[in-house]
């Protein structure tokens, strides 16, 4: 995407009218994005011959369509390519807004807040406030997501007010769609319901079925939580139809979950609804949407309990806890990303104040130089002090940023990699091991402390925390330095060893199980650990490797605990 693409050459007479087609596609996109994409497809073969502005508008609109088609990674990659160009402020602002939006969808919170911070710093033309409304909308939603509800509401109300001043129904529709959930997160249900209903009315006026469906789904969830399931059911049925017609799978599946929860609240969930729960579990699990997955597992647990299937209810409750923990891990990452960006913003404001003060001192020095030359020396000294203060602030910022990054990647109790960071790094190590098979095979070890609940119940949570810490330390001691060790659940740990033989890994496990002379005090509980091992084979990713290791771990638990079990992938091939 070199800038050479936009150097004018001899224009062919048969080139399409890029601007007219793009304006039409943008107009149609809110009602029927697939029809708008057909217009873009007509331009695609010759878009490299368009001007830069048309070229960027084309790819931004196409990126939006990819998000709606559940291809958000591709959309984010294309937006980053556009941001690498020398864009005018208005297009850079749109690209940053879009990048922040996709970052939230993909849970890339640090990148999302970075894009939002840069967007908020761009000055917009007061004669055209539409870009400002879009930035305020994004800020409202993101600050609401990190728990800064009042700040999010302030941004959202500014956006709605500005959109109404513009007398632009489309802008009002979007602004209300962003503000309504922030009221809901802030536990202000009356204002949330008003915003949802006003948004549905405005979006219906402009035939924006996609946003109508999103707002109906959000309002249905609010009413369900308020104990008004009959009203919620009618809304969510309408939302599913609208989102399905708009071909927005993520919104449709989230609405279907709300429908299942509503029908259960009415004791009316049909048997066919159980099949839909399976579809929802596959969709949310594949995309690692842990908040939705946790809600789904909680619903399944309630259903199993009502049917007297207590083992099934316990299984779903455990899955709920795991999904909820993964979701909270991402929420903590989002909060830390917000704090890091907020810290940077405060520092920038401090630097601006210091620079202004430095300039003021220099001006006073220049005016007084003819009368009192002594003041000049004082002014130079003051500037030096300001410079040193700025350097000190920068050093503190860099240290704080490193600390925030470490906090977002490690488990606070054990010091090991947390759930999110472990699996991100494990996949990278697995890919490297697959490319270098001669260095040994990759082995995933799943470990779980036996009867850990009894430790907490009998000895208290302080002793339970000490047990977790000792277990983490021992795992780190016995496994090779290059092994990746993480705490991925309450009492659940995982170790990925690459470049070693299976026998090496089993030796490490036996070292772990041997008595630790440096651990233990009189009265401390005797703790054992069960292990499940799976070995890499062609075509595996970290999720398939973990699934087999979990099955082996479950078998070890069933066979009496305090042992290791090998998955069949670790056994010699039969001759």
**Taken in order 201, 202, 206, 207, is the CA torsion positive or negative?**
negative
Q: Are the beta carbons of 55 and 66 closer than 8 angstroms?
A: no
pLDDT for res 153: 92
Could you tell me the fold of the domain covering 419-570?
Alpha-Beta Plaits (3.30.70)
pLDDT for res 36: 84
With cut-offs at 50, 70 and 90, classify the pLDDT of residue 250: confident
530 forms beta bridges with: 448
Q: What phi and psi, each to the nearest 5 degrees, are found at residue 147?
A: 90, 0
- Look at the block and give the residue holding tokens 């290059």: 482
Tell me the per-residue pLDDT of 175-212, one tens digit each, with 9 for 90 and over. Answer: 899 899 999 988 999 999 999 999 999 999 988 888 89
- Look at the block and give the residue holding tokens 């609109």: 61
pLDDT for res 338: 54
Quote the Cα angle for 372-374-377, to 5°: 130
Tell me the per-residue pLDDT of 54-95, one tens digit each, with 9 for 90 and over. Answer: 888 898 888 888 888 878 888 888 888 888 888 888 788 888
Helices within 167-309 (DSSP H only): 169-185, 189-205, 209-225, 229-245, 249-265, 271-286, 290-306
CATH topology match: 1-108 vs 419-570? no
With cut-offs at 50, 70 and 90, classify the pLDDT of residue 35: confident
**% residues pLDDT > 90 (the chain):** 24
Q: Are the beta carbons of 34 and 83 closer than 8 angstroms?
A: no
Q: Is the pLDDT of residue 4 over 60?
A: no
Q: Is the pLDDT of residue 7 over 50?
A: no
Q: 151-155, 334-338, 407-411: which range is least confident on average?
A: 334-338
Measured N-to-C along each axis, helices 419-435 and 542-558 cross at an angle, to the nearest 10 degrees, of 110
Q: What is the DSSP secondary structure assignment for residue 90, as one 8-state letter? A: H
SS3 26: helix
With cut-offs at 50, 70 and 90, classify the pLDDT of residue 508: very high
492 forms beta bridges with: 448
The DSSP H or E segment spanning 543 is helix 542-558
CATH class of 124-207: mainly alpha
Side-chain half-sphere exposure of 47, counting CA atoms within 13 A: 20
pLDDT for res 409: 74
Domain boundaries, the chain: 1-108, 124-207, 208-255, 330-409, 419-570
Q: Are the beta carbons of 246 and 208 closer than 8 angstroms?
A: no
- Nearest Cα to Cα of residue 184 among 232, 159, 161, 218: 218
With cut-offs at 50, 70 and 90, classify the pLDDT of residue 9: very low
Q: Please tell me the distance from the alpha carbon of residue 363 to that of residue 384, in angstroms, as a whole number.
A: 15
Q: Please tell me the distance from the alpha carbon of residue 439 to that of residue 500, in angstroms, as a whole number.
A: 7
Q: What is the DSSP secondary structure assignment for residue 371, as one 8-state letter? A: T
Q: What is the DSSP secondary structure assignment for residue 10, as one 8-state letter? A: P
More confident residue, 264 or 127: 264
Mean pLDDT of the residues in the chain: 81
Could you tell me the fold of the domain covering 1-108?
1.25.40
With cut-offs at 50, 70 and 90, classify the pLDDT of residue 299: confident
Q: Is the pLDDT of residue 224 over 80?
A: yes
Q: Is the pLDDT of residue 452 over 80?
A: yes
With cut-offs at 50, 70 and 90, classify the pLDDT of residue 119: confident
pLDDT for res 2: 39
> 441-449 and 529-535: which strand pairing?
antiparallel
pLDDT for res 438: 62
- In this prediction the pTM is 0.51
pLDDT for res 135: 79
More confident residue, 92 or 123: 92
495 forms beta bridges with: 445, 485
Conformation bin of residue 47: beta by default, left when phi > 0, alpha when psi is -120 to 50? alpha
Q: Is the pLDDT of residue 388 over 50?
A: yes
Tell me the per-residue pLDDT of 333-354, one tens digit each, with 9 for 90 and over. Answer: 555 555 545 534 443 444 334 4
- Nearest Cα to Cα of residue 419 among 299, 534, 322: 322
With cut-offs at 50, 70 and 90, classify the pLDDT of residue 121: confident
Q: Please tell me the distance from the alpha carbon of residue 225 to that of residue 36, in angstroms, as a whole number.
A: 37
């Amino acid at each position: 995407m070199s800038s050479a693409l936009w150097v004018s050459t001899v224009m062919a007479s048969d080139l399409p009218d890029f601007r007219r087609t793009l304006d039409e596609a943008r107009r149609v996109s809110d009602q029927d994005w697939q029809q708008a994409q057909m217009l873009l497809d007509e331009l695609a073969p010759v878009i490299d011959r368009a001007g830069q502005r048309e070229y960027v508008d084309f790819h931004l609109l196409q990126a939006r369509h990819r998000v709606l088609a559940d291809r958000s990674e591709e959309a984010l990659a294309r937006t980053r390519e556009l941001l690498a160009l020398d864009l005018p402020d208005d297009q850079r602002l749109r690209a940053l807004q879009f990048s922040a939006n996709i970052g939230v969808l993909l849970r890339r919170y640090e990148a999302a807040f970075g894009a939002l911070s840069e967007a908020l710093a761009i000055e917009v033309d007061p004669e055209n406030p539409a870009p400002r409304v879009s930035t305020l909308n994004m800020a409202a939603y993101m600050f609401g997501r990190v728990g800064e509800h009042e700040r999010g509401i302030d941004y959202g109300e500014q956006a709605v007010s500005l959109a109404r001043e513009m007398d632009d129904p489309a802008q009002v529709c979007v602004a209300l769609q962003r503000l309504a959930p922030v009221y809901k997160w802030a536990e202000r249900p009356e204002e949330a319901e008003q915003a949802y209903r006003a948004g549905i009315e405005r979006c219906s006026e402009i035939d924006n079925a996609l946003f109508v469906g999103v707002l109906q789904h959000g309002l249905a969830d609010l009413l369900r939580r308020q104990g008004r399931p009959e009203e919620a059911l009618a809304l969510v049925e309408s939302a599913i139809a609208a989102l399905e017609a708009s071909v927005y799978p993520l919104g449709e599946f989230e609405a279907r979950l709300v429908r299942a929860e509503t029908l259960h609240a009415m004791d009316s969930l049909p048997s066919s609804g159980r099949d839909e729960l399976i579809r929802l579990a596959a969709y949310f699990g594949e995309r690692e949407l842990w908040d939705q997955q946790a809600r789904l597992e909680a619903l399944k647990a309630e259903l199993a309990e009502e049917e007297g299937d207590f083992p099934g209810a316990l299984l779903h409750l455990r899955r709920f806890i795991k999904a909820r923990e993964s979701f909270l891990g991402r929420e903590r990452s989002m909060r830390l990303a917000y704090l890091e960006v907020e810290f940077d913003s405060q520092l920038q404001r401090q630097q601006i104040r210091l620079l202004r003060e430095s300039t003021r001192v220099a001006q006073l020095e220049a005016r007084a130089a003819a009368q009192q030359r002594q003041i000049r020396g004082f002014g130079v000294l003051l500037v030096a002090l300001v410079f040193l203060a700025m350097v000190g602030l920068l050093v503190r910022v860099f240290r704080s940023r490193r600390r925030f990054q470490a906090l977002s990647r490690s488990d606070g109790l054990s010091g090991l990699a947390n759930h999110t960071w472990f699996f991100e790094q494990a996949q990278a190590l697995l890919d490297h091991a697959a490319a270098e098979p001669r260095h040994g095979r990759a082995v995933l070890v799943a470990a779980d402390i036996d009867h850990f609940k009894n430790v907490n119940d009998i000895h208290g949570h302080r002793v339970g925390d000490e047990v977790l810490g000792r277990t983490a330390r021992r795992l780190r001691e016995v496994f090779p330095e290059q092994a990746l060790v993480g705490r991925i659940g309450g009492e659940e740990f995982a170790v990925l060893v690459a470049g070693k033989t299976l026998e090496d890994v089993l030796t490490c496990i036996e070292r772990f199980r041997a008595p630790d002379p440096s651990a233990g005090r009189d009265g401390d509980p005797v703790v054992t650990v069960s292990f499940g091992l799976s070995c890499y084979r062609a075509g595996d990713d970290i999720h398939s490797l973990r699934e087999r290791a979990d099955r082996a771990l479950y078998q070890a638990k069933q066979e009496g605990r305090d042992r290791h079990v090998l998955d069949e992938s670790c056994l010699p091939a039969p001759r």
